[in-house]
Structures are given as C-alpha cells and as structure tokens.
Amino acid sequence: MGVVNVTPDSFSDGGRWFEPAAGTAHGRELLAQGADLLDVGGESTRPGAVRPPLEEELRRVLPVVRDLVAEGALVSIDTMRAEVAEQALHAGAVLVNDVSGGLADPAMVPLVARTGAPFVAMHWRGQSDHMDDLATYDDVVTDVRVELGARLRALADAGVDLSRVVLDPGLGFAKRAEHNWALLARLDELAVLHRPLLVGPSRKRFLGSLLAGPDGAPRPPQERDDATAATSVLVALAGAWCVRVHDVPATADAVRVVAAALAAGERHPVTDLDALAAHHGVTR
Ligand code: PMM
C-alpha cells in the first residue's frame, strides 16, 4: 500500500502532495513503482497534530480519490470521519482505513456495516494531540491483542461482516519505540484474532531514533526509507497481508523477495516437518 498524503503537515512528507493534482500525480507514480493499493488521506495523524475541519478534509481527498479511481487504481481512504469515508466510497474507493478503528466517529461503524466496505481497524487509544500520554501497557503485545479483539466484538455486534475486516497494531500511535519493536517482533501473536494484518512502519519515529547520529539527533523522516524496507521484510515474514509505505520501490521488492523465499521454503523437505518426520520414520 502506497501512501498519498494530501496534507500540509504530515510528519513524513508534509506539504509535498498537498494540491490535488500533485496528489494524483504522486499516486500514479506509486502505482508505476509497484503499489497494489493507494491510501489517500487528508488528515495528518502525526503526534500533536490538530484536526482539519470536515469540509477541508473532503476538499483535499475527494478529487484525488476520483482521479486515481478513474485511472484504474485500487484506492483506500485513510480517514476517521464517516462522512469522508462515505463520499470516498461513492467516488470509487474500495477500502476504508480508519486509524481509530471506528472509535473516533460514532457514525463510522454503522456506515461500514451498511455498505459492507472492507475496513482496516487500527489499534488506537486517542487523538494525536494527546496519544503520547496514552502509551502505558502491562505487556504491549497482549494489551493490543486484547483491545483489537474487543474492537472485533464491537464491530460484529454492530453488524459488520468480520470477513471484511483487516487489523493493524498501530505502530507509533500511543506507542513508544520499545512498544513498536515488541509488536514487530511478536506480530505472530496477533494471528489468534484470525484476521489479515496491515502494518504501517513507514518513516516513523522509532526508526528515526534507532538511526540517530552521534549527536543523538533522530534521522530525518526522508532518510528512513532503507530502514522502512528492512521493516517491511519483518512484516512480510510474519505473514502480514499488507504493509503501508511512503517509498514503494524498495518495499515492493522486499515483499517479493520474502514471498519467493517463503514459497521455496514451503517446498523444501527440511523445513516441511511432516515430510522430514516421515523420511526418518518419526511419528509426530
Ligand atoms: N499510520 C499513519 C497514517 N495512517 N493507517 C494505518 N492503517 N496504519 C498506520 O500505521 C498509519 C495509518 C501515519 O503515517 P503518515 O502520517 O506518514 O501517513
């Protein structure tokens, strides 16, 4: 999934694709580079961000959604607002990506239930202006698993078809660096929720601080793409359905490398434990 931020203030690429024509051109470029899906968003969720008014968010995203759909792209709408999601779906978007998992706008879950739109529900604890204060966990992976499980139950209770729901651990959202690393290292523990996973590591703060220079200053967002691609390898190896990135070429290559290696491993008798056991006459 390639990111098309039509915002003046995203932490990673703020302002670069703010005008609709620039957003559309950027989406076209990401498609040519191998993105399977384009995630169009008009609200920055960077820590401390202030929300744009509804009309402004609509003005930012709708022309870009319309133009990219017209070019044959699969477009997802990155929004916490039901009204934006509904108009984007009407304009041809095929998926709703809500970083609040339906918690920010009470009209979102009913919309998803009514339209049957595929829905990405991310782990979220509160708006960006105070989310850093909410990063307290006993064990982050267990807590995120339990909270995402509760979201699934709420979605099911509201009539959402869970077969159309994708879950996301929400890297960087009410998470400190150590929380993000634990989630990446133990992504497989979310498999018990039996839903596909989307993960969004791209250019986030935990990569900037990992790659800090000798003066301790974080690596700037635009210089975090190699680390993002390395993270995409981890995400793909854990079997995730989708990785959301700003820089598509390296991640498109990385996920194909992992897919090829996993496919080859599946055929290999040494890693096929049943075949190995049969070969040695061992009962498993
Ligand atoms: N991260 C951002 C925005 N949208 N959506 C999902 N599903 N998962 C994420 O991790 C996520 C997201 C923040 O990054 P950006 O402002 O650079 O796009």
pLDDT in tens, 138-188: 999 999 999 999 999 999 999 999 999 999 999 999 999 999 999 999 999
pLDDT class of 18 with cuts at 50, 70, 90: confident
Q: Is the CB of 5 under 6 A from ligand 1?
A: yes
For the CA atoms of 164, 108, 199, 59, what is the dihedral angle to 10 degrees?
Answer: 120
Residue 284 confidence (pLDDT) above 70: no
Lowest mean pLDDT among 132-136, 226-230, 249-253: 132-136
- What pLDDT score does 164 carry? 97
Mean of pLDDT values over 117-137: 91
Which neighbouring-strand residues pair with 1?
none
Mean of pLDDT values over 113-118: 98
Q: Is the CB of 43 under 6 A from ligand 1?
A: no
Mean of pLDDT values over 238-266: 94
172 CA to centre of ligand 1 in angstroms: 9
Pinpoint the alpha helices (H) of 71-190.
82-90, 108-115, 140-157, 177-185
200 CA to centre of ligand 1 in angstroms: 6
- What pLDDT score does 19 carry? 82
Q: Find tokens 């990673």 and name the residue.
A: 12
Mean of pLDDT values over 129-142: 90
Among residues 19, 89, 98, the alpha carbon closest in space to that of 60 is found at: 19
- What pLDDT score does 204 carry? 97
**Tokens describing residue 2:** 């390639």
Is the pLDDT higher at 7 or at 142? 142
52 CA to centre of ligand 1 in angstroms: 16
- What pLDDT score does 180 carry? 98
Residue 269 confidence (pLDDT) above 90: no
Mean of pLDDT values over 239-263: 96
For ligand 1, mutation pick of 45, 127, 222 (most atoms within 8 Å of CB) = 45
The b-or-e profile of 217-229 (16+ CB within 10 A means b, else e) is: ebbebeebbebbb
Mean of pLDDT values over 92-121: 97
Which active-site residues does the annotation give?
204, 244
Quick: pLDDT tens for 193-204: 999 999 999 999
What SS3 class is residue 224? Answer: coil
Cα Rg, the chain, nearest whole Å? 19
pTM, rounded to two decimals: 0.92
Q: Is the CB of 16 under 6 A from ligand 1?
A: no
Q: Is the CB of 123 under 6 A from ligand 1?
A: no
- What pLDDT score does 274 carry? 76
Report which DSSP code applies to 120: E
Among residues 5, 104, 24, 124, the alpha carbon closest in space to that of 64 is found at: 24
41 CA to centre of ligand 1 in angstroms: 9
